């Protein structure tokens, strides 16, 4: 993506205000590059990945920044459990978990884990969530 934007800059003398990409470009590096150059990005998430899964994808959980927690599709809270620092091979992330999955009627669609559902939050997740919200707007769907 960075190379394509650099090529566009060379040819046109500037970056585009808007950029429409297919779902194959829904990646953290593309989202970050568009944000870096203040480009309004239109890029749907690849839904094929979600259809293959038998459990609810992370995208169905809502992150609440004020409370620093996730809310699951059944409206239960997943609280911060731990923070994992970056290593040479991994990115940093935070782990959120729910403590009330056992009696939830949606458990079969959410997790098979005895300890309940866990969600990992990476630094790049904020950009993904912002793009999902942007793409859910009626004016974005018209494009």
Buried b (16+ CB within 10 A) or exposed e, 29-67: ebbebbeebeeebbbbeeeeeeeeeeebebeebebeeee
* pLDDT recorded at residue 52: 58
Average pLDDT score over residue span 62-87 = 96
| Three-class SS state of 109 | helix
In this predicted structure, the answer to whether residue 48 has a pLDDT above a threshold of 70 is no
Question: Mean of the pLDDT values across residues 119-135?
Answer: 91
Distance CA 3, CA 60 (A): 33
Q: What is the mean pLDDT of residues 51-68?
A: 85
Return all residues near 66 (Cβ < 8 A) that are at least 6 apart. Answer: none
pLDDT category of residue 28 using cuts at 50, 70 and 90: confident
């Amino acid at each position: 993506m960075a190379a394509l934007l650099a090529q566009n800059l060379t040819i046109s003398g500037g970056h585009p205000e808007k950029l429409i990409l297919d779902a194959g470009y829904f990646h953290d590096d593309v989202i970050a590059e568009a944000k870096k150059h203040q480009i309004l990005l239109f890029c749907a998430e690849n839904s094929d990945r979600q259809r293959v899964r038998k459990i609810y994808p992370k995208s169905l959980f809502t992150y609440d920044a004020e409370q620093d927690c996730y809310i699951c599709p059944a409206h239960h809270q997943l609280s911060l459990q731990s923070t994992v620092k970056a290593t040479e091979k991994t990115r940093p992330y935070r782990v959120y978990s729910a403590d009330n999955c056992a009696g939830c009627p949606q458990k079969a669609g959410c997790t098979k884990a005895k300890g309940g559902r866990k969600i990992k939050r990476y630094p790049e997740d904020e950009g993904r969530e912002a793009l999902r919200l942007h793409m859910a707007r009626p004016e974005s769907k018209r494009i």
